[in-house]
């Protein structure tokens, strides 16, 4: 049986805002593993605008990590402006880039996962469906107002609430356990085991249309190269933040 050909399209600023409103940080290694389970992940795209004229961009550490760890990073320079309140903001809309990439790849895909609640993607989803591609949209209705536009949710073949899958993809801090003797093997945090557990015992599971919850005993400490703390688009620093709305 052939594996489902799947691609992941992440609207970086939209995902950041959604996770922030739900009160958790994303572990991007877990996110990729969760959605690629049982499929052939053709591409995992992450889209973000980066302010290049700043001495430090809060997006850069995460963007660099993604680029080296299985994601295809698509970025462009952000545009800076001052709003009506005199606050400095940085704007970078990636809708066109996401749409072009998704439609170009449609003939080589069976399933597209779009992580965004932006209603502007409704037409893109409809176009993919006409090409025979199934589309799952990931956002949330648990916030007030909901982060997903109603027209996008209606158009999607499947809607997956980020709140429901949060236990599988959130970034966790390792728990301190009892002092371990010299030479002891590696440990990883596994909530199913009530705290510290041998990393080798970590379970594996992932996304399917029939099961959007799982027991996640994957270790947060079993690899040296872990994602940096989430500081993405929308992160306040020096009075500026990324805003993915179109220029007026």
Question: Could you give all domains of the chain from N- to C-terminal order, each with its CATH number?
Answer: 4-171+227-243 (3.40.50.1010)
**Can you give the pLDDT of all 248 residues of the chain as single tens digits?**
578 999 999 999 899 999 999 999 999 999 999 999 989 999 999 999 887 766 666 778 888 899 899 999 998 888 777 878 888 776 778 999 999 999 999 999 999 999 999 999 999 999 999 999 999 999 999 999 999 999 999 999 999 999 999 999 999 876 655 555 555 444 332 333 333 333 333 344 566 655 544 344 444 444 445 555 444 333 323 333 344 544 33
Question: Rounded distance, CA 108 to CA 106, Å?
Answer: 5
């Amino acid at each position: 049986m052939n594996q489902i050909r799947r691609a992941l399209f992440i609207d970086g600023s939209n995902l950041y805002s959604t996770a922030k409103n739900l009160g958790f940080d994303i572990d991007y290694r877990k996110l990729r593993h969760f959605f690629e389970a049982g499929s052939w992940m053709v591409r995992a795209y992450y889209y973000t605008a980066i302010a290049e004229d700043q001495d430090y961009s809060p997006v850069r550490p995460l963007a660099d990590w993604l680029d080296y760890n299985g994601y295809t990073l698509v970025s462009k320079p952000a545009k800076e402006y001052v709003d009506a309140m005199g606050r400095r903001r940085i704007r970078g809309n990636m809708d066109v880039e996401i749409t072009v990439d998704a439609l170009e790849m449609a003939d080589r895909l069976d399933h597209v996962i779009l992580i965004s609640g932006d209603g502007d993607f409704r037409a893109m989803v409809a176009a993919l469906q006409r090409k025979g591609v199934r589309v799952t949209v990931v956002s949330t209705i648990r916030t007030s107002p909901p982060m997903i536009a109603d027209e996008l949710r209606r158009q999607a073949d499947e809607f997956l609430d980020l709140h429901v899958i949060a236990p599988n993809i959130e970034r966790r801090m390792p728990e301190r356990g009892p002092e371990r003797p010299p030479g002891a093997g590696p440990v990883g945090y596994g909530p199913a085991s009530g705290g510290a557990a041998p990393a080798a015992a970590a379970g594996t599971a992932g996304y399917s249309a029939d099961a959007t919850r799982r027991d996640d005993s994957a270790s947060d400490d079993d690899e040296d190269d872990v994602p940096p703390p989430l500081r993405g688009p929308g992160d306040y620093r020096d009075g500026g933040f990324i805003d993915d709305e179109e220029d007026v």
